[in-house]
Chains A and B, each alone.
Chain A
Amino acid sequence: MVDSALTANVRRELSKLQADLDALQTDNLRGQLERLNDQLSNMPTPASQFATHAVGGSMGDMQSTRPKEMSAEVVDSNPYSRLMALQRMGIVKDYQRIRDKTIAVVGVGGVGSVAAEMLTRCGIGRLLLYDYDKVELANMNRLFFRPEQAGMTKTEAAAQTLAGINPDVAIESYTMNITTLQGFDAFKASVTNADGASRVDLILSCVDNYEARMTINQVCLELEQTWMESGVSEDAVSGHIQVVIPGETACFACVPPLVVASGIDERTLKREGVCAASLPTTMGIIAGLLVQNTLKFLLDFGQVTRYLGYSSLTDFFPTMDIKPNPGCSNPLCPKLQAAYQQQYNSEEALAARSAAATAAAGAEAEAATHEDNDWGIEVVSDAGPAASPGAGSAGQQGGLAAGLQYSFPVASMDPYDLKKDAVEDSTADVDDLMSQLQALNTQS
């Protein structure tokens, strides 16, 4: 559009523009200028004004600043012009919806901080940030944090920077460890509204350990909240993102990491586990993949990936669907799976899907122009049968082709073996046992 305006008659167009500008009401312009000035003077204000600190702070202090309109005007001073252009380009239908979205970013490290910055620059409505750690100089090989922020909590430092970048975003920072009993409850409460339902649109897991992922998984199963998991390998050269929709996709407990402890000499305990490698590149790429998928999920465009891996050494990007495990060790998951299947097979859902298929077939029929088909060529779907329940951990081997075997050990023990090696029945109660234990401590 801009190009077409700048054709042969540029000069004439420009003078016409000048005339238009002169005709514009100066009051209007002054008002705009004042607003911009206000915005500008707000920018360097300390983050604490924008961030609600859950620890020792009031959570009720929900900033009343409701999203102001995102301007689509193409001027240098409009921070949203390039984002709103997504609409003109036909990528996104209504970009402004992003102002109504709330995202929780759990773990403000190499991936989480960058993801939070991307969301902030995209004009997300509300950001909840979780971390218990402090900024250190050892973090400086990654993006986002600056050396002068060393010693601050990551949430505080991030809230400060993010509020400076885009004061339109409401930021809540939570300095807490979510894996402890109290942390779990506080985390769950912080993403729950007064009705007991989730108040966030999506939770992004940017944590670096199994315990925190299992905690997020548990909270999201309990709230039936969709979340996205992300991870970068300890050797810093690969990573992945994964979408978890409780009941519909595998939850994080459905497919446990394949851990095989073998050949470990206890005298050669590895130190790498403590001091993992990291690269700003891999972390930035994973954060980019994560937020791209988040935008597609929030604003309904493109295809939201269920799993996307990244192996940088071979430039390999595998994608896959991970089906839920009917034998999932988390008791909530199979219940949600059953509910999802019931919904999926309900009459309304079947009718909706068949209507969609008819519409798609209609569109296809219109597109097909071949009158004859001597060779009987036809297009077949490459999608497998929907939601065939895979073999659970129990009763393994059934349904596996010859020559294949499961790597993960059978989860449940043989009841007879367990009975033989388990604690014996005891009539003593907890108090009795505690005093027995105490007695052992004092006797030599």
Chain B
Amino acid sequence: MAEGWDSGTKETVRKIPLLTVNAGPRDKDQWTKRLKEELQALIKYIQINKSTDSDWFTITSNKDGTHWSGKCWYIHELIKYEFDFEFDIPATYPTTAPEIKIPSLDGKTAKMYRGGAICLTVHFKPLWAKNSPHFGVGHAMCLGLAPWMAAEIPHLVDSGVISSAS
């Protein structure tokens, strides 16, 4: 694991179960097994979050487990900022990681690709590549989306791009 990660994240990601089935949605039979592992790992991760009072997202998928969406939130100076996120499982999964999107922030930050895909290139993709196929959706949330929000939301709030509407 990278040296720069804070100890909390490191601690948590170790507890998310690893996945063993190397299959993407194009492998019809194996994908069901992989999807089961994805769901089990996610359930475990959310349970850990709830037990440490650090719940920060909800998530559901379509029936095939190929499209995922939910809400994620971040507390900055005691104010909660909440966003809808979504992503598709790419055809070459799990060799390549999912592109997590927050459409409502599209165009508001430079750390984002067109369409609202958050930038995962530097902090997350290398980790994913090293740990494929054992990382899953839960790891993408923990090591991809969470640190992106931790870095970006305070910046967006401080520069007045977003405000606590709710």
Contacts and interface: CB of A to CB of B under 8 A. Distances in A.
A266 B17 contact: no
Nearest to B50: A440
A262 B2 CA distance: 5
A181 B90 CA distance: 6
A210 B17 contact: no
A424 interface: yes
Interface string A237-281: 000000000000000010011011111111111110111000000
6 contacts: A214-B95, A259-B126, A273-B119, A423-B17, A433-B43, A440-B47
B151 A426 contact: no
Contacts of A330: 95
Contact of A437 (B9, B39, B121): B39
A259 B129 contact: yes
B39 A210 contact: no
Contacts of A329: 95, 132
Interface in A164-217: 179-181, 183-185, 210-211, 214-215
B152 to A, nearest CB: 8
A264 B92 contact: no
A179 B92 contact: yes
A428 B44 CA distance: 14
Contact of A430 (B39, B132, B150): B39
B32 A266 contact: no
A422 interface: yes
A423 B129 contact: no
Interface string B1-38: 01111100100001001111000011000001001110
A224 interface: no
Contacts, number: 157
A89 interface: no
Contact of B43 (A265, A274, A418, A436): A436
B92 A211 contact: yes
Contacts of A433: 36, 39-40, 43
Q: Of residues A211, A261, A275, which shows the largest number of chain B Cβ atoms within 10 Å of its Cβ?
A: A261
Contact of A180 (B18, B20, B88): B88
B122 A264 contact: yes
Contacts of A437: 39, 42-43, 46, 59-60
Nearest to B66: A181
A404 interface: no
Given A179-B96, A422-B37, A437-B39, 15 more contacts: A179-B90, A180-B91, A253-B95, A261-B2, A261-B130, A265-B4, A266-B6, A267-B151, A268-B151, A413-B134, A423-B19, A430-B39, A433-B39, A437-B60, A440-B50
A424 B40 contact: yes
A419 to B, nearest CB: 8
Given A181-B26, A210-B125, A256-B129, A263 B60 contact: no
A421 interface: yes
Interface stretch (B78-86, B107-115, B156-164): B107-115
B116 to A, nearest CB: 12
A409 interface: yes
A436 B119 CA distance: 30
Specify which of A260, A266, A434, A438 lies most central, judged by the most chain B CB atoms within 10 Å of its CB: A266
Contacts of A424: 17, 40
A426 B91 contact: no
A422 B17 contact: yes
B122 A270 contact: yes
Contacts of A263: 2-4
B147 interface: yes
A430 B32 contact: yes
B112 A269 contact: no
Contacts of B4: 262-266
A184 B18 CA distance: 27
A102 interface: no
A274 B112 contact: yes
Given A181-B89, A437-B59, A273 B122 contact: yes
A275 B113 CA distance: 9
B91 A259 contact: no
Contacts of B130: 259, 261, 409
B65 interface: yes
A441 B71 CA distance: 9
A267 B110 contact: no
A274 B65 contact: no
A441 B17 contact: no
B7 to A, nearest CB: 12
Contacts of A218: 91-92
B6 A211 contact: no
Interface string B123-158: 101110110101000000000000110111000000
A250 to B, nearest CB: 15
B104 interface: no
